[in-house]
Structure 1
Amino acid sequence: MPETPPTDSAPSAKPAKPKTAGFPKSSTSSPGLSVPTIAALALAVLGIVLAIFGWFYPSTGQKFSDDQRQEAKGKICDSQAVVRQGTQFNTNLQNPVPGDLAGDLAVGTNARLSLFAGGAFLHQRLEANPATPDDLSKAVGDMADTLEALSINYLAGHSPDDAVQQPLRDQLRGQIDVLDNLCQPQ
């Protein structure tokens, strides 16, 4: 009589569970959304709408007194006067030893540095003085941008009278005239 190996019988094997991808089964038999879920969705939609509204219509929220605006105006006008003095001094320097390459390089470097640093300084002063009147703030910001553009263009090799720099220099003169009017004592 041949011996056959015993086979596993079906009753000893466990039935396989269906895979649910880790999601718990709903305790309710209703296929609809629950009240807390609907409330959470409504709050999420409301939050998104408010965020979009706030992005396009930011609140300035800051109200300044006349004294604060006057103090900020004085600080900004003093700052732009110092920047003008520094840039005018450094952009008009002459090499004390004509023809000396190192002297020419040093004079040019001081001019570029004073323009760029002056623009950056004015932007910093505007940030530090949020009570600055809007017209003055715009004029000083425009001057700062022009100073920085002049500096970068000089670093790129442009000369003072070329087609790139000359319009910027003329623009700066106009901005200085505007600032002279805005910074007049009242």
Structure 2
Amino acid sequence: MPETSPTESASTAKAPKPKTPGFPKSSTSSQALSVPTIAALALAVIGIVLAVFGWFYPSSGQKFSDDQRTEAKGKVCDAQAVVRQGTQFNTNLQNPVPGDLAGDLAVGTNARLSLFAGGAYLHQRLEANPAAPADLATAVGDMADTLEALSINYLAGHSPDDAVQQPLRDQLRGEIDVLDNLCQSQ
């Protein structure tokens, strides 16, 4: 038996590897996945596919009967007519005492309020009547947006005939013409 010194045997013997941080070693093979892991992965893939499908092909939501669509159209057209009447009345008011600053301010405030409130009211009526035909809903929504834009621009100090307001006023006239045609057959 050959004799080796204690220093030689220590250097030739393999030193244990230090433990590295990380995941603990599993007693099962790393290639075999457990049934719950596979099920979770499958459900995740199905969820992603459904989410992507729903994003690109949204549901049309509710299906409405012809009576529901007709009723919604009537309500939205009536709302548009009331808003049109109110904004037309209030934006054409004249100060009963010419030159009175308080009267001028009151007339201007009523005009701005009727424009903004009219736009908000039309948006509310559209939301309350989801069965309204799409073309009518689009036209009324456009009119509501234009009314609100006019109001905000007036509040910002724009005058009726400036480069900001005049195109909006022309746009509003066109939107009213479209709505007149859509609401006539009511």
**TM-score exceeds 0.5:** yes
Q: How many residues align?
A: 167
Q: Who is 2:166 aligned against?
A: 166
The yes-or-no answer on 1:180 pairing with 2:180 is yes
Matching of residues 1-186 of structure 1 within 5 Å? 26=26, 28-32=27-31, 33-185=33-185
CA distance in 1, matches of 2:53, 2:88: 45
**Matched residue type, 1:29:** T
1:113-162, CA deviations, whole angstroms, 9 ceiling, x for partnerless residues? 11011001001100100100111111101100110110111011110001
User: 1-side partners of 2:64 and 2:126: how far apart?
Assistant: 15
Q: Which string of whole-angstrom CA distances, capped at 9 and with x for unpartnered residues, describes residues 76-135 of structure 1?
A: 000000000110011011111111111111111111111011001001100100100111
Shift in Å, 1:20 = 7.3
Q: Give 3-state SS (helix, strand or coil) of 2:29's partner.
A: coil
Aligned-pair CA distance for 1:25: 6.5
Q: Secondary structure at the match of 1:115?
A: helix
Provide the identity percentage: 87
Structure-2-length-normalised TM-score: 0.84
Cα-to-partner distance string for 1:35-59 (whole Å, 9 max, x where unaligned): 2101101211210221122122210
Cα distance between partner residues in 2 of 1:20 and 1:162: 71
**Contiguous gaps of at least 5 residues in structure 1:** 1-17
Residue identity opposite 1:31 in structure 2 = S
Instruction: Please give the per-residue CA displacement for 1:56-79, whole angstroms capped at 9, x wherever unaligned.
Output: 221013111111111001000000
Q: CA deviation at 1:19?
A: 9.3
Question: How many Å separate the matches in 2 of 1:24 and 1:106?
Answer: 77
Counterpart residue identity of residue 28, structure 2:
S
State the TM-score, normalized to the length of structure 1.
0.84
Alpha-carbon distance, 1:185 to partner: 3.4
Give me the whole-angstrom Cα distance separating, in 1, the residues matched to 2:115 and 2:45: 49
Unmatched segments (≥5 aa) in structure 2: 1-18
Q: Distance in 1 between matches of 2:84 and 2:168?
A: 15
